[in-house]
Structure 1
């Protein structure tokens, strides 16, 4: 039993098909045409190759958010402070005396460059997440509509079985009353 998308929208979504958003229309079409809607988004993501800049932003974000980066950053800070302390004790002067203004400049520049690169990567990930959420919505809506259709079919089957059961009982009662009537009209035995 196939349905048209307009019927699916009206009966299950309680809205005219042309008033549904594009995703709901797509789901109604898939339900009506009995097509699957689930797909592998990870595989689709591979088909749309990221640009070199996007790959670089992802690599910077991956490295900048790792324990390796934290360890290397901490080691560089210790070397900077230790080298300045050693130079001060040996030669009485250093390339970046305390409070390490040159180090602060480098750290500010690193943060100024790293922050927008990480944001670019996060924006790309947010777009992937949005696409995933939209796909999840479509799959969930289709599953919900299919379950509603199954409930309708079960209700129809149950109603048909009740009708058959009632008709069978009516026939049995008719046969029983015929049998009782025949017994009353039969000559006594004996």
Structure 2
């Protein structure tokens, strides 16, 4: 029961409201302060967002990493340029163009690639956003803890200064009484 009272006292003193009125993150911080336990946690812990993803999410992350790189953009541009060059000039003389201008087959392939790549990249972005939200939540708890600890230190320093001043006043009063 003593710990519950200590947490209630800390909540009232530091945050100005009852422990039961605090949200979950604030309660965790107050509990950590009361237990003198660390607040920091690893965002790559056992949270469902950060546990080892299955094949689909890992593939989505790799596709997003490759598809969002300058290497992919440059390489893909070279392939497209080569496709158009071959189908417009090189194979035209031999009568072997398999996708003549306006490159309908190329448009079909690009549309299919975009239709597949866009949702895959969005899946990866959703996973990253969930990781970012978890990191943000943990950062909030750490910042709140630091702020509350600073407030506690100020209280302790204020108490020390008050005690010091009280001793000086008592000493001064004693000297004045001794004089007469």
TM-score, L = length of structure 1? 0.86
Q: Could you tell me which residue of structure 1 aligns to residue 116 of structure 2?
A: 113
Q: Secondary structure at the match of 2:91?
A: helix
Q: Could you tell me which residue of structure 2 aligns to residue 23 of structure 1?
A: 25
Query: Hey, what's the Cα distance between the residues in 2 that align with 1:112 and 1:59?
Result: 17
Q: Could you tell me which residue of structure 2 aligns to residue 13 of structure 1?
A: 15
> For structure 1, which segment, 168-177 or 61-70, has the greater mean C-alpha deviation from structure 2 after superposition?
168-177
Report if aligned partners of 1:5, 1:17 keep a CA contact under 8 Å in 2: yes
Q: Secondary structure at the match of 2:94?
A: helix
* Aligned with residue 76 of structure 1, among 69, 76, 79: 79
Instruction: Give per-residue Cα distances to partners, 1:138-188, cap 9 Å, x unaligned.
Output: 0001111111111111111111111000001111222233xxxxxxxxxxx
Q: Describe how 1:121-140 pairs up with structure 2 within 5 A.
A: 121-140=124-143
> For structure 1, which segment, 158-167 or 67-76, has the greater mean C-alpha deviation from structure 2 after superposition?
67-76
**How many angstroms does 1:95 deviate by?**
1.3
Query: Hey, what's the Cα distance between the residues in 1 that align with 2:164 and 2:25?
Result: 37
> CA RMSD of the aligned region, Å?
1.9
Query: Hey, what's the Cα distance between the residues in 1 that align with 2:21 and 2:166?
Result: 38
* Aligned with residue 61 of structure 1, among 47, 57, 64: 64
1:99 aligns with 2:78: no
Gaps of 5+ in 1: 178-190
Q: Secondary structure at the match of 1:90?
A: coil
**How many angstroms does 1:94 deviate by?**
2.0
Number of residue pairs the alignment of both structures matches: 175
TM-score, L = length of structure 2? 0.90
Q: Could you tell me which residue of structure 2 aligns to residue 87 of structure 1?
A: 91
Instruction: Give per-residue Cα distances to partners, 1:110-154, cap 9 Å, x unaligned.
Output: 000000000011100001000000000000011111111111111
**How many angstroms does 1:7 deviate by?**
1.1
Q: Which has the larger radius of gyration?
A: 1
Q: Could you tell me which residue of structure 2 aligns to residue 40 of structure 1?
A: 42
Q: Higher relative CO (CA 8 A, sep ≥ 6), structure 1 or 2? A: 2
